[in-house]
Structure 1
């Protein structure tokens, strides 16, 4: 009876999932469709072609490489700052932890456009406009607060007896951090790394604002705009670029799925 009474919930879930995934299907559909047949609106690529992807591989690979460098560097920069900061707040319990947590929440509330305008003025003064280090720094300002809050929540839930036992055995704070805390934080580290990668990879606000017009180090989110003009939009290459740009993130989500599920709930339940 329970199975029979919930079948309609499953049906609704499937329908809603299909509706949400339809734009992804349509993106793939258009990417394999010839330009002359796009306006026909066929549900599958009757005029099948690979020319859109051939053009993308010829034009967009430098932008894809730039995005990969920025995203991976953002992950590394985020972990370098967030891991010791979280350890200091949760394990060492340094003074001012409540103030730091409050500031991290406030940092999450600041609109990206406000931060982008501030970064533009600062980077213009120090020469970081249209540079990869500038975009890494800007993207990290979004990832670091989230990473610190998530990692702090997990580390605060670690058994205090484990840390005390290590201290009694003569372990230094650095050894506790590197040999106990970091290995136990694997799921949370993977989760924060994934979110930092996704934020940097999909960033458009900082990339468009901090571009001085040279276009030498544009990420893939800006490369898409090569196919959008005032009088013409090349939908085939545009959608093919979106498909290519989605592949790395989709693979990461598949590989890290179990770690993300465990990492998001880390610290939610304490002894």
Structure 2
């Protein structure tokens, strides 16, 4: 029995290694291509023959503003999503309201609406309200996806909080806002980090809303910067890959830093 268990574990590890290598192969090629000197074809290989990081300086010079826009929009989306979703999730769990079931069904239904439908509707609204080509407009648009997901994640976490803790705080004289701020939010920290990270990653990788709701270069996320490279400068693969590496770093760093909270948050959601 032990031998079979060891064989199964070894086979699982080998499969995991193969899958990981397959997923990391494009990343390796991207980094290798970004270190090729300008004008040289972006070829594969384990390591670049003559590494040249100058394309990163070119990428920062040409796409620095786009990277900043993406960072501002993504952080704003995460903050707005949590600000709206946390009170809503609290109301749906520890202070249940009439009609909570239909409301949650509506939240799930919103998740099923195609993004292009939402983008087209927002374009007409933004044209009338002056929100086209604005960071605020992109934050509001990306939050249409971030808020429903955050509500679902936070409701699961808040529903797992023992009601005795909340009742004890109320008996000590804490009001509804104090209970929410000092008891519910700290106990939902892992879920808050998870929901905020998902909202950030969605906004960071968004192309649909950015392409639909921006018409000039004044407000242009890095996803559209890469889109421009592929559309008009396909010969500049070195700069394109350098920009792609820079665009991947913030998301990768956040995932690594928040890994412990994400694991705890998703595990809590899976067991409740």
- TM-score, normalized by the shorter chain, greater than 0.5: yes
2:226 to 217, 224, 227: 224
| More displaced 10-residue stretch of structure 1: 258-267 or 4-13 | 4-13
Consecutive unaligned residues of structure 1, counting only runs of 5 or more, are none
TM-score (norm 1): 0.94
Match of 2:91 in 1: 88
Match of 2:129 in 1: 126
2:200 is equivalent to residue 200 of structure 1: no
Match of 1:246 in 2: 248
2:149 is equivalent to residue 146 of structure 1: yes
| Cα displacement (A) at 1:228 | 2.9
2:95 is equivalent to residue 68 of structure 1: no
Match of 1:161 in 2: 164
- Aligned partners of 1:37 and 1:47 also within 8 Å: no
- How many pairs does the alignment contain? 269
CA distance in 1, matches of 2:131, 2:21: 43
CA distance in 2, matches of 1:34, 1:45: 9
CA distance in 2, matches of 1:81, 1:137: 12
1:136 to 136, 139, 142: 139
Match of 2:52 in 1: 49
- Aligned partners of 1:87 and 1:177 also within 8 Å: yes
| More displaced 10-residue stretch of structure 1: 94-103 or 261-270 | 261-270
CA distance in 2, matches of 1:246, 1:231: 20
TM-score (norm 2): 0.94
2:108 to 105, 110, 127: 105
Cα distance change, pair 232–196 in 1 and its aligned pair in 2 (3 A): closer
- Aligned partners of 2:66 and 2:219 also within 8 Å: yes
| Cα displacement (A) at 1:223 | 1.5
2:260 to 258, 261, 266: 258
CA distance in 2, matches of 1:96, 1:4: 52
CA distance in 2, matches of 1:91, 1:72: 28
CA distance in 1, matches of 2:43, 2:76: 43
CA distance in 2, matches of 1:89, 1:32: 51
CA distance in 2, matches of 1:107, 1:115: 10
What's the secondary structure of 2:173's corresponding residue?
A: coil
| Cα displacement (A) at 1:169 | 2.3
Cα distance change, pair 167–222 in 1 and its aligned pair in 2 (3 A): same
What's the secondary structure of 1:55's corresponding residue?
A: helix
Consecutive unaligned residues of structure 2, counting only runs of 5 or more, are none
CA distance in 1, matches of 2:8, 2:247: 42
Match of 1:18 in 2: 21
2:235 to 209, 221, 233: 233
CA distance in 2, matches of 1:173, 1:115: 35
- Aligned partners of 2:34 and 2:239 also within 8 Å: yes
Q: Deviations over 1:37-57 (max 9, x none)?
A: 325544421142222111012
CA distance in 2, matches of 1:32, 1:233: 15
CA distance in 2, matches of 1:21, 1:231: 25
